[in-house]
Amino acid sequence: MSNFLVIFLCLAFGYIFRYFKIIKKGGHLAINTWIIYVGLPSIALKFIPQIDWTFEYIYTAILPFVCFGTSYLFFQLLNRWMHFSKRTLYTLIIVSGLSNTSFIGFPLVSTYYGEEYLKVAIVSDQVTFFTLSLFGVLLATSSRNIFANTKEKSLYIFRRIFTFPPFIACILALLLGKYLVHEEWNTLFSSFAATVSPMALFSIGIQLDFKRITHELNALYAGLIVKLLIIPLVAIGLYYFLNLSGNFFRVSVFEMTMPCLVASSIVIEKFSLNVKFANTLIGISIVVGLVLSFVWYSVINTLL
C-alpha cells in the first residue's frame, strides 16, 4: 500500500508543482538527465551482474518487437476506415507500440513482484529502447526524411543506441560483472538506483497535460485501446499459447501492459510528427495505465 501511495504522491507533486509554477517550464529536463545518466545506469550495474542468463530471456526480448508489430498492423488496418493524417498515423504506431518499461515499469515491478525481478525488467527495457531507436526511427523517417543520405540516417540510429547511458552501463555490467558484485559497489549502486522511481514519477507528473484531451478524440481512444488493452492481450495470449508461466514470465508480460513510452516523444518531435497529440496520449495513458496495473497484474497471475 505504501508503494502505491508513493507512486500517486510523486505524480501528484509533479503535477501540482507545474500547475502552480513552482517549477519552471522545462524543469523536468534536469530530472530526466539525472535519471538517464545516473539512475538507470546504476540499476543496470546493480542487477545485471546478478543475472543468471538463461534461454528464458529470449522470450522477454521477443515481446517488445511483437507489441510494436501489433501496433503497426492494427493502425494500418484501422487507417483504412479512420483516414488519419500520415503524421498522426505514425505517431499512433510509435507511441502506442512501445511500453514505459523503466520510468513506470520499474516502480510497478518492484511493487507487485519485488525488487529482485528488476533484472527481467532491465532486459525488457533495453529491447524496448532498441525497438524505438531502430524501428521507431525508421518509421518516422518514412514520414519526413531529414537526412541527406542513408549513411547519415544509419549514423543517427547507431549513435542513439550506442551512446544511450543505460545501454553503455549494460555493456559494462556484462563485461565487468564479476568486479561489480562486491558489497561496496552494490551499496553505491543501490543508493543511486533508489532515486529512479520517485524522481521518474515526479518528472512524469510535471509533464502531465490534459488541455488537449478534447482534440483528436478518435485517435486518442484508438491509441489508448491499443496500448492498454490490445497489446496486453496479445502479450498474455502469446505466453499462454506457449505455456510459459511463473513470475519470470509474468514480469515480462507485465512490462508490456505499461503506459506509453515517454521517450517516444523525442522521436516524434525530432521528425515533426504530431507532437502535441503524442504528449496528450502519453499523459493520459500513464494515469489510466496506473489504474489498470492491478487489473493486469491479477489477470496475468491468474493465467500465467
Looking at residue 213, what is its pLDDT? 65
Looking at residue 287, what is its pLDDT? 86
Predicted TM-score (pTM) of this structure: 0.84
The helix or strand, by DSSP H or E, that contains position 40, with its residue range, turns out to be helix 40-47
Whether pLDDT at 277 is above 70: yes
Whether pLDDT at 170 is above 90: no
CA distance 70 to 197: 29
Domain ranges of the chain: 2-303
Whether pLDDT at 16 is above 70: yes
Enter the DSSP assignment of 17.
H
Q: Tell me which of 200-214, 246-260, 274-288 is least confident.
A: 200-214
pLDDT-based confidence at 154, cuts 50/70/90?
A: confident
| Range with the largest mean pLDDT of 44-53, 183-192, 195-204 | 183-192
**Which backbone phi and psi does 83 adopt, to 5 degrees?**
55, 55
Distance of alpha carbon 217 from the chain centroid: 23
The helix or strand, by DSSP H or E, that contains position 126, with its residue range, turns out to be helix 118-131
Whether pLDDT at 1 is above 60: no
| Mean pLDDT, residues 286-290 taken together | 89
CA distance 30 to 28: 6
CA distance 216 to 244: 39
Enter the DSSP assignment of 22.
S
pLDDT-based confidence at 56, cuts 50/70/90?
A: very high
CB–CB of 189/45 below 8 Å? yes
Looking at residue 286, what is its pLDDT? 87
Looking at residue 243, what is its pLDDT? 96
| Mean pLDDT, residues 98-118 taken together | 90
pLDDT-based confidence at 144, cuts 50/70/90?
A: low
Stronger pLDDT, 256 or 272, i.e. the higher one:
256
CA distance 234 to 256: 10
| Mean pLDDT, residues 167-173 taken together | 89
CA distance 103 to 60: 18
CA distance 102 to 233: 21
CA distance 94 to 76: 12
Looking at residue 189, what is its pLDDT? 92
Q: How many CB atoms are located within 10 Å of the residue 28 CB?
A: 21
Assign 57 to helix, strand or coil: helix
CB–CB of 233/295 below 8 Å? no
Question: Of 136, 133, 142, 121, nearest to 50 (Cα)?
Answer: 121
CA distance 266 to 225: 22
Stronger pLDDT, 124 or 201, i.e. the higher one:
124
Looking at residue 66, what is its pLDDT? 97
Contacts of 142 (CB under 8 A, 6+ apart): 90
Looking at residue 2, what is its pLDDT? 65
Q: What's the Cα-to-Cα distance from 33 to each of 16, 36, 238, rounded to whole Å?
A: 21, 5, 36
CATH pick for 2-303 out of 3.30.450.20, 3.40.50.300, 1.20.1530.20, 3.30.230.10: 1.20.1530.20
Whether pLDDT at 123 is above 90: yes
Looking at residue 146, what is its pLDDT? 66
| Mean pLDDT, residues 252-271 taken together | 88
Question: Of 131, 170, 195, 163, nearest to 51 (Cα)?
Answer: 170
Instruction: Write down the H helix ranges in 113-246.
Output: 118-131, 137-143, 150-162, 165-180, 183-193, 196-207, 217-225, 231-241
Amino acid letter for position 288: V
CA distance 85 to 131: 23
